[in-house]
Amino acid sequence: MNKLLTTVFALAVACVTLSAQAQKVTGSVENGGKKVAMCVGCHGIVGYQASFPEIHKVPKIAGQSATYIASALNAYKAGDRKHPTMRAIADSLTEQDIADLGAYYGQLGLQEGDAPPATLAKQPGDKVQALISRDKDNNCTKCHGANFNTPNDGTVPKLAGQHADYLYVALKSYKVENHGQLGRANAVMAGQAKKFSNAELKDLASYIGSLPGELKTVPESRIHRSH
Ligand code: HEC
Ligand code: HEC
């Protein structure tokens, strides 16, 4: 190889390496769509019930933000979230897979004009209102949004319209410590959940689950996959 060719070749290799690195942090909706085969058996069946380690509906993830989806998957991967099946699944995903799946599910099912009202569509009763604002400085809506659908940060989930039985199991899990198959290690939500009895968490979950929001389960048959 002459010198010029060698230089051109080296530059081309550098470009490919650079773009591969850039892709590492950028999710691709298209590539994510090719990776959902492993997810749709649970997240692509409306009302699908999980039975282990607890019985509840599988969470709606279409319409959750890409950042939150990645943050949740990384929490399972790191063992901060203990759910056994999701840990095994997240473990098998690369950083790029996680970014692609986040990008894909983040846009799935979202349409213009889809967004719920910015303020509460349905006022809670006095009892639930008192639970929501029990922590005066840090009430639930401060982070999850006035309508529970507009989180103040990418790592905070949308909650409005999520399955109530899942919200309840998720809330309880923040109180669990030192258990092999149950629990979530997030310190912010542990501080919140521990202020409530399980009966109170259930009331919060059923109210929040009844609100209109952007979260959906998009059935597999409606997922357009480009091959
Ligand atoms: C065997 C059924 C099953 C499969 C397959 C599955 N999931 Fe899950 N997923 C669940 C269950 C159940 C939960 C709730 C776990 C918990 O309680 O923390 C969950 C939770 C999640 C969450 C967190 C949701 C939230 O609101 O915090 C994300 C994100 C997620 N799954 C993404 C995926 C992706 C992406 C795939 C495919 C690569 C996948 N899941 C495959 C059952 C499944
Ligand atoms: C200071 C910010 C903050 C406040 C206040 C807060 N949350 Fe959260 N919430 C978060 C974050 C961050 C997460 C994600 C934690 C994780 O990754 O496990 C979360 C997760 C959750 C989840 C799990 C949802 C899912 O999809 O798995 C539920 C349910 C929830 N919060 C309900 C509440 C309720 C009810 C209140 C009020 C009692 C509340 N939160 C107050 C920040 C907050």
pLDDT digits (tens, 9 = 90+) for 155-195: 999 999 999 999 999 999 999 999 999 999 999 999 999 99
Q: Is the pLDDT of residue 208 over 80?
A: yes
Q: Is the pLDDT of residue 14 over 60?
A: no
Task: List, in order, residues 6 or more apart from 125 with CB less than 8 Å away.
Answer: none
Residue 53: cis peptide before it, omega within 30 degrees of 0: yes
Q: Is the pLDDT of residue 8 over 70?
A: no
| C-alpha–C-alpha distance, residues 135 and 159, integer Å | 18
Q: Name the token pair of 112.
A: 């213009």
Neighbours of 19 (CB within 10 A): 11
| C-alpha–C-alpha distance, residues 111 and 208, integer Å | 22
Task: Find, among 152, 132, 136, the residue nearest to 144 by Cα.
Answer: 152
Task: List, in order, residues 6 or more apart from 27 with CB less than 8 Å away.
Answer: 66, 70, 98, 99, 100, 101, 102, 103, 104
Q: Are 175 and 194 in contact (CB under 8 A)?
A: yes
For domain 27-225, give the CATH number. Answer: 1.10.760.10
The alpha carbon of 105 and the centre of ligand 2 are apart by a number of angstroms equal to 20
Domain ranges of the chain: 27-225
User: Which amino acids bring their CB within 6 angstroms of ligand 2?
Assistant: 59, 71-72, 75, 138, 140, 142-144, 155-157, 159, 162, 167, 170-171, 184, 186, 188-189, 192, 204
pLDDT digits (tens, 9 = 90+) for 97-117: 999 999 999 999 888 877 888
Pocket test for ligand 1, best of 29, 38, 42 (most atoms within 8 A of CB): 42
Q: Is the pLDDT of residue 219 over 60?
A: yes
Q: What average pLDDT does the structure give for the chain?
A: 89
Q: Is 23 exposed, middle or buried (0-12, 13-18, 19+ CB in 10 A)?
A: middle
Question: pLDDT band for position 77 (50/70/90)?
Answer: very high
Q: What residue owns the CA closest to ligand 1's atom 36?
A: 39
Task: Find, among 64, 147, 70, 78, the residue nearest to 106 by Cα.
Answer: 64
| C-alpha–C-alpha distance, residues 72 and 159, integer Å | 14
Task: Find, among 166, 127, 124, 163, the residue nearest to 141 by Cα.
Answer: 124
Q: Name the token pair of 113.
A: 């004009």
